[in-house]
């Protein structure tokens, strides 16, 4: 976008704005209320709904002007419009009246009510009475699967759903059918929406055609939902969310705009993976060997353990606060990471890559790259939101072509017309087909190790100083040279990899390419990698040995007590292994939010709050520290692990807390390199005397909510840890300068739907007013060592077969996988996958079940052949196939069932 400025006149007021942008965006940025439907900040303008009509005048002398659509009108110097004149107001009101001819009068029973852009725009235009007295058209609705409910009668045909689903997200199974006032937005027939991002339809749709299905089944009006800024912890991207709570249940998750992380969209795992928090069987009481314990007793028991030979093992979603508290209590050397050797290597490689990256790829850097290499990672499963961003990156060449034809980037239809099939080069080199292959310039299939060698070949092609891998297949060599040429020519190159293949050499190769690009004088690339979990980077920053070392200590009998922090050891050890450990140990203390084998085996079990019930800081894939706040207090005795641990510290006369701010202060002093974690969000006194209300000012029924239990209204919980309050008192909205990390809602007068976000942005689609939410940790200060040459070696022997873990967005896992909606979305995936050629070589071409053997252990599993998979590997979604996580990347043997 050009940086030229223009002076425009709106309703007689002069404004200086960026030239060339459209009037609607500019008007919204100036804080004006101009209604719209078909425009969406991420989708651009198409001029279909005619709602944003304004009157444009040729000059100051033009008496009448003409009605134009603001979204289709570029701002030039001297552009002169009126928004409050009779002609444009009449037009805007008429558009609502037309839209309403077929819109039902069902707001009272519509899940969108109170959250509805159509309601807001109707009120904004003043269209209050219906003159239309004729029959309305009706449609049949479809079953679109477990996530999205469909009610086509409410449709106002703004076309945003198909523009989002098809043009933006690359889906193919939602379309528009029919014509005239009988257009139908749906699938060719009922069936589950295939996109990984279908849930965004709920927010993209300006009215109640597409609504959140699980939310609808457990519904509360938006104005009765208590909210707090939260994070998604189902992968390492760290999307910002607004979970909404009522009656102690998380009802839904809505996107929380963060320009650097997730923009306007979430993936379906993030939106629908919330049900675990509402499970009736969640532990609410601490438990000792003799049964339930009061919190004080539990704390005392735990405090007692610390004097013995104790160690702790921590999961990869545990907040930095809890990690720090545990290390402060036990000493860093006694805290182990729940990670096998490969996972540990991946976690450390992630950190190393962040340290050597010339710049870390945040969301805008991914979307705006003009050449990208995706090495190894199936992003649409492992870090889905980044995959959606990567799809946008392919449009850059089209934008450039449009700019040359004087078509502005926001003019969506014309940009696509000019762009046609031109795409910026996206090179995908992965062991299995990805959902982005269709927009990729090259698609390469090879084993993770071979892909790492491909990476080194690229690095070598860019900078001969980098070692060349030996005996690379000519086809791969050719691809390497093409990719190197594209990366070298790029203005904004991008490199992406990740941990999903369990191959640390991919990280080393990616780092080598980044260094080679810099060395050869090309533009410095943006680099990103997706680690395994929500706080993998945070955990890696604290460091610690892994499970292998811990196992050695346990098995040698050097440890009496083990504390397990938010992790199920059965996933690593198997149930038998867990049992063995249990027998070795005198005490097993387990912190968890959900029951599981480890919880059951515990001698001391402490119930933990879920992410919706606790404050904590997580560090995402890019090294960005972000704070999540409790949406509601946990029931029973559950609480954040760090709160339990602060209690233990107090019981031992050690001071860690007692508040979050005090804990973070201690952290900053103890670990100066991680002091940045404190800055993820403002401290509890940021709001002065006024707490930021978690409840909307229209929150209703507060006094009645508990009346069936107690006629007295309970005293609201007091929140000493944060600047938020469990209250509806106090101002919300854009007038109040609440820092973005503390905003509990994006609401503005007259803007009750998610579209209200425009009131909180400095620029449409740009930074939030009040500065960023979250902060990048200064990781580059660490070692900037040259990339290890890991993976640059010779190819593996041809008969080596390794287990390739295939990520699955809807996998059964400890959290999201417990959600019935996610479970209903799972399709197939329980079989091992093998390339037909490999199957033939192994004599398995006709086998339907095979025996798989890793490190002497055997399992029997179904087998399917899959041509779009690298040879020399057995693909499996480990969770779906019921295989141990530690098997990832291990050499395997396959035999036909019953074979010797």
Partner 1 sequence: MSQKISPPDKPLTDRIRPEHAPFDVAEYERAGGYQALRRALRTMAPQEVVALVKDANLRGRGGAGFPTGVKWGLVPHGPDAPKHKYLIANGDEMEPGTFKDRLLLEGDPHQFIEAMIVAAYAIQADVGYLFLRGEYHLAAQRVQRAIEEARGRGYLGRNIKGSGFDFELHLHTSAGRYICGEETALISALEGKRAVPRAKPPFPTVAGLFGRPTVVNNVETLCNVPHIVNYGADWYRGLSRTENGGTKLYGVSGRVCHPGAWELPMGSSAREIIDEHAGGMRAGLRLRGFLPGGASTDFLTAAQLDVAMDYDAVAKAGSRMGTGTIIVLDDQTSVVAMVRNLEHFFAQESCGWCTPCRDGIPWAEKVLDDLVYGRGRPGDLELLEQQTRLLGPGRTFCAHAPGAMEPLQSALQHWRGDFEAGIAPAAAAPAIAGPATPEAPRPLSEVLETTPMGPVGEGGR
Q: Should residue 403 be labelled a site residue for partner 1 when binding is judged by CB under 8 A? A: no
Check residue 105 for interaction with partner 1 (CB under 8 A): no
Question: Please, which residue, 160 or 802, has the CB nearer to partner 1?
Answer: 160
What are residue 40's phi and psi, to 5 degrees? -140, 140
Alpha helices in 360-442 (DSSP H): 363-367, 379-382, 384-393, 396-404, 412-419
Q: How are strands ordered across the β-sheet holding 426-430?
A: 359-360, 526-530, 493-498, 371-375, 426-430, 442-445
Of 725, 558, 722, give the one whose Cα is nearest residue 643.
722
- The two counts, helices (H) then strands (E), for the chain are 27, 37
Work out whether 62 is an interface residue with partner 1 (CB under 8 A): no
Contact between 757 and 34 under an 8 Å Cβ cutoff? The reply is no
Positions 183 through 222 that interact with partner 1 (CB under 8 A): 183
Give the binding range for partner 1 (CB under 8 A) out of 41-49, 641-649, 764-772, 809-817.
Answer: 41-49
Of 141, 359, 409, 413, the one binding partner 1 (CB under 8 A) is 413
Task: Determine the interface stretch with partner 1 among 16-24, 48-56, 463-471, 733-741 (rule: CB under 8 A).
Answer: 48-56
Asked if residue 238 lies in contact with residue 363, where contact means CB atoms within 8 angstroms, the answer is: no
Task: Give the position of tokens 């762009």.
Answer: 419
Q: Does 409 bind partner 1 (CB under 8 A)?
A: no
Integer CA distances (angstroms), 809 to 231, 267, 434, 829, in order: 17, 9, 12, 11
The answer to the question of residue 395 lying near partner 1 (CB under 8 A) is no
49 binds partner 1 (CB under 8 A): yes
Q: At what angle do helices 474-489 and 448-462 cross, to 10 degrees?
A: 50
Sole window of 414-422, 582-590, 652-660, 859-867 interacting with partner 1 (rule: CB under 8 A): 414-422
Of the pair 152, 683, the CB lying nearest partner 1 is at: 152
**Nearest distance from residue 150's CB to partner 1, in Å?**
18
Residue 420 interacts with partner 1 (CB under 8 A): yes or no: yes
Per CB under 8 A, which region of 96-104, 193-201, 688-696, 805-813 contacts partner 1?
96-104
Specify the DSSP element, H or E, that contains 494.
Answer: strand 493-498
Token couple for 704: 């009645």
Cβ-contact 81, 57 below 8 angstroms: yes
Spell out, one character per residue from 70 to 89, where the chain touches partner 1: x when CB under 8 A holds, - when not.
Answer: --x-----------------
**Which one-letter DSSP state was computed for residue 113?**
T
- Shortest distance (Å) from residue 843 CB to partner 1: 46
CA dihedral of residues 376, 382, 385, 391 (deg, nearest 10): 30
What one-character DSSP code corresponds to residue 754? G
Distance, in Å, from the CA atom of 610 to the CA atom of 630, rounded to the nearest integer, reads: 9
Q: Residues in contact with partner 1, total (CB under 8 A)? A: 45
Q: Does 417 bind partner 1 (CB under 8 A)?
A: yes
Closest CA to 527 of 383, 761, 355: 355
Q: Quick check: 660 binds partner 1 (CB under 8 A)?
A: no
Residue 291, strand partner residues: 288
Q: Of residues 120-159, which lie at the interface with partner 1 (CB under 8 A)?
A: 129-134, 156-157, 159
Among residues 8, 95, 614, 847, the one that binds partner 1 under rule CB under 8 A: 95
Binding region for partner 1 (CB under 8 A) out of 145-153, 412-420, 449-457, 537-545: 412-420
Task: Give, as ranges, the residues between 171 and 190 that touch partner 1 (CB under 8 A).
Answer: 176, 178-183
CA angle 672, 676, 678 (to 5 degrees): 100
Nearer to partner 1, 49 or 863 (CB): 49
CA dihedral (471, 495, 236, 201) in degrees, to 10, reads -120
Contact range with partner 1 by CB under 8 A, out of 99-107, 448-456, 515-523, 624-632: 99-107
What is the H or E stretch that residue 591 is in? strand 587-592
Choosing from 90, 172, 333, 729, the residue that interacts with partner 1 (CB under 8 A) is: 90
Q: Which one of residues 4, 66, 140, 698 is an interface residue with partner 1 (CB under 8 A)? A: 66
Position 405 contacts partner 1 (CB under 8 A): yes
Give the pairing type, strands 832-834 and 857-865. parallel
Residue 171 CB, shortest distance to partner 1, in Å, is 17
* 67 touches partner 1 (CB under 8 A): yes
* 18, 94, 524, 780: which one binds partner 1 (CB under 8 A): 94
DSSP state of 716: P
Whether residue 660 contacts residue 721, with contact meaning beta carbons closer than 8 Å, is answered with yes
Residues 522-561, one symbol each (x = binds partner 1 by CB under 8 A, - = not), give ----------------------------------------
Q: Which span (5-13, 266-274, 292-300, 408-416) binds partner 1, by CB under 8 A? A: 408-416
Nearer to partner 1, 134 or 715 (CB): 134
Beta bridge partners of 310: 561
Decide if residue 712 touches partner 1 (CB under 8 A): no
| SS3 (DSSP) at 401 | helix
Q: Which residues bind partner 1 (CB under 8 A)?
A: 46-51, 53, 66-68, 72, 90-91, 94-95, 98-99, 101-102, 129-134, 156-157, 159, 176, 178-183, 405-407, 411, 413-414, 417-420
């Amino acid at each position: 976008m050009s940086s030229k400025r223009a002076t425009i006149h709106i309703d007689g007021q002069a404004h200086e704005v960026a030239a060339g942008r459209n009037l609607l965006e500019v008007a919204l940025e100036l804080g004006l209320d101009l209604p719209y439907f078909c425009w969406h900040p991420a989708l651009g303008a198409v001029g279909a709904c005619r709602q944003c009509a304004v009157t444009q005048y040729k000059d100051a002398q033009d008496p009448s002007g003409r009605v134009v659509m603001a979204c289709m009108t570029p701002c030039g110097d001297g552009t002169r419009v009126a928004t409050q004149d009779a002609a444009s107001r009449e037009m805007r009101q008429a558009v609502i009246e037309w839209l309403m001819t077929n819109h039902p009068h069902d707001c009272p029973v519509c899940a969108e009510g109170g959250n509805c852009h159509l309601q807001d725009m109707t009120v904004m235009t003043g269209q209050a009475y219906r003159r239309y007295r004729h029959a309305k058209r009706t449609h049949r609705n479809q079953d679109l699967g477990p996530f999205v409910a469909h009610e086509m009668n409410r449709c106002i045909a703004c076309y945003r759903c198909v523009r989002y689903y098809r043009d933006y997200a690359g889906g193919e199974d939602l379309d528009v059918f029919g014509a005239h006032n009988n257009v139908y937005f749906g699938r060719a027939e009922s069936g589950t929406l295939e996109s990984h991002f279908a849930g965004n339809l709920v927010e993209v749709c300006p009215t109640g055609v597409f609504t959140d299905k699980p939310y609808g089944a457990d519904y509360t009006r938006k104005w009765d939902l208590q909210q707090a800024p939260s994070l998604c912890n189902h992968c390492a991207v760290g999307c910002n969310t607004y979970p909404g709570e009522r009656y102690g249940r998380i009802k839904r998750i809505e996107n929380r705009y963060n320009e650097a992380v997730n923009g306007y969209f979430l993936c379906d795992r993030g939106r629908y993976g919330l049900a675990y928090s509402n499970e009736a069987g969640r532990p609410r009481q601490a438990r000792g060997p003799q049964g339930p314990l009061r919190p004080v007793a539990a704390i005392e028991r735990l405090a007692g353990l610390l004097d013995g030979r104790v160690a702790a093992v921590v999961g990869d979603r545990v907040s930095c606060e809890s990690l720090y508290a545990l290390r402060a209590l036990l000493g860093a050397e006694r805290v182990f990471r729940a990670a096998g050797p490969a996972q540990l290597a991946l976690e450390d490689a992630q950190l190393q890559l962040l340290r050597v990256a010339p710049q870390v790829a945040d969301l805008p850097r991914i979307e705006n790259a003009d050449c990208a290499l995706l090495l190894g990672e199936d992003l649409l499963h492992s870090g889905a939101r980044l995959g959606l961003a990567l799809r946008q990156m392919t449009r850059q060449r089209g934008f450039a072509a449009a700019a040359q034809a004087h078509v502005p980037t926001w003019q969506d239809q014309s940009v696509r017309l000019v762009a046609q099939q031109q795409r910026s080069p996206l090179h995908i080199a992965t062991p299995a087909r990805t959902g982005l292959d269709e927009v990729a310039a090259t698609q390469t299939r090879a084993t993770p190790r071979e892909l790492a060698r491909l990476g080194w070949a690229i690095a070598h092609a860019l900078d001969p100083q980098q070692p060349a891998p030996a005996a690379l297949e000519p086809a791969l060599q050719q691809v390497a040279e093409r990719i190197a040429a594209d990366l070298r020519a790029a203005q904004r190159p991008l490199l992406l990899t990740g941990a999903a293949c369990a191959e640390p050499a991919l990280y080393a190769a990616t780092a080598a390419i980044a260094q080679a690009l810099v060395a050869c004088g090309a533009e410095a690339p943006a680099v990103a990698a997706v680690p395994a979990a929500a706080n993998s980077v945070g955990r890696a920053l604290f460091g610690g040995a892994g499970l292998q070392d811990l196992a050695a200590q346990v098995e040698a009998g050097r440890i009496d007590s083990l504390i397990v922090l938010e992790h199920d050891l059965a996933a690593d050890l198997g149930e038998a292994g867990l049992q063995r450990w249990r027998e070795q140990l005198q005490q097993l203390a387990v912190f968890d939010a959900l029951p599981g084998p480890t919880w059951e085996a515990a001698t001391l079990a402490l119930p933990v709050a879920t992410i919706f019930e606790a404050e904590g800081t997580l560090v995402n894939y890019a090294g960005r520290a972000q704070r999540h706040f409790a949406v509601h207090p946990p029931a029973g005795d559950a609480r954040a692990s760090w709160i339990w641990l602060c209690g233990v510290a107090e019981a031992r006369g050690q001071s860690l807390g007692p508040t979050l701010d005090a804990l973070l202060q201690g952290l900053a002093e103890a670990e100066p390199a991680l002091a940045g974690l404190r800055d993820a969000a403002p401290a509890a006194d940021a709001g002065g005397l006024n707490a930021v209300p978690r409840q909307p000012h229209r929150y209703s029924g507060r006094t009645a909510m508990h009346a069936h239990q107690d006629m007295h209204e309970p005293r609201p919980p007091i929140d000493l840890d944060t600047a938020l309050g469990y209250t509806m008192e106090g101002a919300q909205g854009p007038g109040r300068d609440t820092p973005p990390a503390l905003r509990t809602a994006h609401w503005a007068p007259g803007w009750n739907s998610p579209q209200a976000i425009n009131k909180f942005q400095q620029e449409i689609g740009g930074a939030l007013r009040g500065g960023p939410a979250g902060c990048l940790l200064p990781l580059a200060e660490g070692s900037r060592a040259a990339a290890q040459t890991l993976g640059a070696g010779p190819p593996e022997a041809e008969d080596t077969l390794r287990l390739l873990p295939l990520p699955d967005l809807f996998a059964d896992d400890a959290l999201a996988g417990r959600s019935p909606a996610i479970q209903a979305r799972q399709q197939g995936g329980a079989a091992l996958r093998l390339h037909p050629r490999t199957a033939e070589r192994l004599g398995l071409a006709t086998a339907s079940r095979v025996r798989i053997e890793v490190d002497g252990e055997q399992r029997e599993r179904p087998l399917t052949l899959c041509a779009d998979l690298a040879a020399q590997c057995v693909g499996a979604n480990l969770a779906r196939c019921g295989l141990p996580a530690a098997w990832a990347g291990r050499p395997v043997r396959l035999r036909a069932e019953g074979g010797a």
